[in-house]
């Protein structure tokens, strides 16, 4: 099925099921319970999971396969967002043309930036991409204000032309992005006992796009082109002396990953039709690097896991405040309660970066292959335990 190897096919199906049932999986705690704040099944966050998943999948095609570490990929995401919003302003509120334009524009920008940056490798390449991204950020933030909206960002207005749509709704509001009549912000709540599950059209649209992007990434990983990209990472000297020109290979990888970033940017604007320069800032570029490394660079599922992990922390850990901590530890004697809350306080709320930083360091030091390597270790440990259990009974099975 899907022209994939068995293991890849399983992986794709698992990812598909997880994304489709995410509203259930991410909402395990009943509404109103003390644990409900750990629920992540609300549309806004779920959209962010899959959109940043797409961003990281694309980044991994460049970084995971070729080893070229771009520090400017957020620029392509930002460009994609601007392109989509302009499409909403000028053409119509349909998300399809908006997303197509954002992918195309991001592809063109990455072609230009990649062409120049890929003249160097290693740290020099990273610095070049960072410099380009910061230049683009600066342009978007101030110089190009008529196009980008500058500090306030690019927003829709009531007097936008929208030649294939309406400038205003009959009620005099700005129309919302949609897909042939389906509005992206529309949701449907399913109440089961004390659980509330929200199904959002925007999320499912993004999830479909992510599954398609993931499928495409698997095909690229397993193709002759993917093999060449891994060869670039392994030994460029041998590539050159084997009659292969590494430059177009790396450039193609750069453009593909730039287009993935543009796709993510376009989706972001489709969910919430505004675009700001802060999406292009270097911290945003650094974030996708963290996601990829945290999940496992060069693995298929790693970047998606990393993206989910970081976005979960950003949105859930940052909401815990000292009142909540005091509630949790209320059963302890007063002095001890205050002491523990004082120790934990720097790691929550605005301090979630600290927790993330420590986790990131631990992963890099103990699990260089990221969360995926962690999963593999647990699996092999379980298998070993299982076979040890079997040995005393004399029921050892020959390996394969």
Partner 1 sequence: MGILEVKNVGKRFGGLQALSDVNLSVRENSVHAIIGPNGAGKSTLLNCLVGKLIPDTGSVMFDGQSVLGRAPYEINQMGISRVFQTPEIFGDLTVLENMMIPCFAKRDGAFELNAISAIPAQRDIMEQAEHMLEDMNMADKRHMHAAAMSRGDKRRLEIGMCLSQQPRLLLLDEPTAGMARADTNNTIDLLKQISDERDITIAIIEHDMHVVFSLADRITVLAQGTPLVEDDPQNIKGNPKVREAYLGESA
Which residues sit at the interface with partner 1, rule CB under 8 A? 3-5, 219-220, 222-228, 230-231, 233-235, 237-245, 248-249, 252, 256
Phi, psi of 200 (to 5 degrees): -115, 135
Q: How far is the CB of 2 from partner 1 (least distance, A)?
A: 10
Measured CA to CA, the distance from residue 188 to residue 35 in angstroms comes to 23
Closest CB to partner 1 among residues 7, 245: 245
Q: What secondary structure does DSSP assign to 14-49, as a single string?
A: HHHHHHHTHHHHT--SPTTSGGGGG---SHHHHHHH
Q: Token match 């999940």: residue?
A: 295
Q: How far is the CB of 256 from partner 1 (least distance, A)?
A: 8
Element (H, E) at 198: strand 195-200
**How many CA atoms are closer than 13 Å to the CA of 117, on its beta-carbon side?**
30
Q: How far is the CB of 293 from partner 1 (least distance, A)?
A: 17
DSSP annotation of 152: G
Closest CB to partner 1 among residues 223, 321: 223
Number of neighbouring beta carbons within 10 Å of residue 400: 3
Element (H, E) at 340: helix 334-344
312 Cβ contact partners less than 8 Å away, ≥ 6 residues apart: 40, 45, 49
Closest CB to partner 1 among residues 235, 387: 235
Closest CB to partner 1 among residues 122, 161: 122
In degrees, to the nearest 5, what angle opens at C-alpha 26 toward C-alphas 188 and 342?
125
Q: How far is the CB of 296 from partner 1 (least distance, A)?
A: 15
Helix axes 74-90, 282-295, angle to 10 degrees: 120
Closest CB to partner 1 among residues 5, 151: 5
Closest CB to partner 1 among residues 119, 238: 238
Q: How far is the CB of 15 from partner 1 (least distance, A)?
A: 19
Closest CB to partner 1 among residues 238, 385: 238
Tell me how far the alpha carbon of residue 355 is from its chain's centroid.
19
Closest CB to partner 1 among residues 244, 367: 244
Q: How far is the CB of 351 from partner 1 (least distance, A)?
A: 38
Q: How far is the CB of 377 from partner 1 (least distance, A)?
A: 19
DSSP annotation of 180: T
Q: How far is the CB of 261 from partner 1 (least distance, A)?
A: 17
Closest CB to partner 1 among residues 75, 259: 259
Measured CA to CA, the distance from residue 43 to residue 23 in angstroms comes to 8
Q: How far is the CB of 107 from partner 1 (least distance, A)?
A: 14
Phi, psi of 128 (to 5 degrees): -60, -45
Identify whether the C-beta of residue 295 lies closer than 8 Å to the C-beta of residue 368.
Answer: no
Q: How far is the CB of 104 from partner 1 (least distance, A)?
A: 17
Phi, psi of 281 (to 5 degrees): -70, 160
Closest CB to partner 1 among residues 232, 363: 232
Listed as own residue / partner, the contacts of 111-114 with beta carbons closer than 8 Å and 24 or more positions apart are 111/251, 111/255, 111/258, 113/72, 113/75, 113/254, 113/258, 114/250, 114/251, 114/254, 114/255, 114/258
């Amino acid at each position: 099925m899907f022209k994939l190897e068995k293991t890849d096919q399983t992986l794709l199906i698992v990812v598909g099921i997880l994304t489709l049932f995410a509203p259930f999986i991410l909402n395990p705690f009943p509404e109103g319970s003390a644990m409900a704040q750990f629920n992540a099944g609300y549309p806004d966050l779920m959209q962010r999971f899959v959109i940043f998943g797409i961003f990281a999948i694309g980044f991994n095609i460049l970084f995971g396969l070729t080893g070229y570490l771009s520090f400017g990929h957020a620029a392509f995401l930002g460009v994609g967002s601007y392109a989509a919003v302009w499409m909403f302003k000028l053409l119509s509120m349909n998300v399809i043309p908006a997303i197509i334009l954002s992918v195309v524009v991001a592809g063109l920008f990455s072609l230009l930036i990649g062409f120049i940056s890929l003249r160097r490798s290693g740290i020099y390449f990273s610095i070049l991409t960072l410099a380009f991204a910061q230049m683009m950020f600066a342009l978007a933030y101030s110089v190009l204000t008529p196009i980008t909206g500058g500090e306030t960002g690019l927003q829709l207005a009531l007097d936008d032309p929208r030649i294939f749509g309406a400038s205003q709704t009959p009620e005099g509001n700005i129309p919302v992005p949609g897909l042939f009549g389906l509005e992206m912000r529309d949701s449907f709540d399913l109440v089961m006992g004390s659980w509330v599950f929200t199904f959002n059209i925007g999320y499912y649209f993004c999830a479909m796009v992510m599954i398609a992007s993931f499928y495409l990434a698997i095909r690229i990983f397993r193709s002759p082109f993917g093999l060449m990209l891994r060869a670039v990472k392994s030994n460029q000297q041998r590539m050159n002396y084997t009659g292969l020109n590494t430059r177009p290979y790396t450039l193609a990888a750069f453009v593909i990953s730039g287009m993935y970033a543009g796709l993510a940017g376009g989706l972001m604007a489709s969910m919430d039709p505004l675009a700001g320069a802060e999406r292009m800032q270097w911290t945003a570029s650094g974030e996708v690097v963290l996601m990829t490394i945290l999940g496992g660079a060069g693995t298929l599922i790693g970047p998606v896991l990393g993206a989910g992990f970081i976005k979960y922390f950003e949105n859930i850990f940052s909401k815990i405040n000292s009142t909540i901590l005091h509630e949790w530890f209320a059963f302890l004697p007063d002095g001890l309660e205050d002491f523990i809350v004082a120790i934990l306080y720097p790691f929550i709320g605005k301090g979630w970066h600290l927790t993330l930083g420590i986790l990131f360091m631990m992963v890099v030091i103990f699990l260089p292959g990221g969360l995926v390597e962690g999963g593999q270790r647990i699996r092999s440990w379980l298998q070993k335990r299982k076979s040890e259990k079997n040995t005393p009974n004399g029921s050892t099975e020959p390996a394969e």
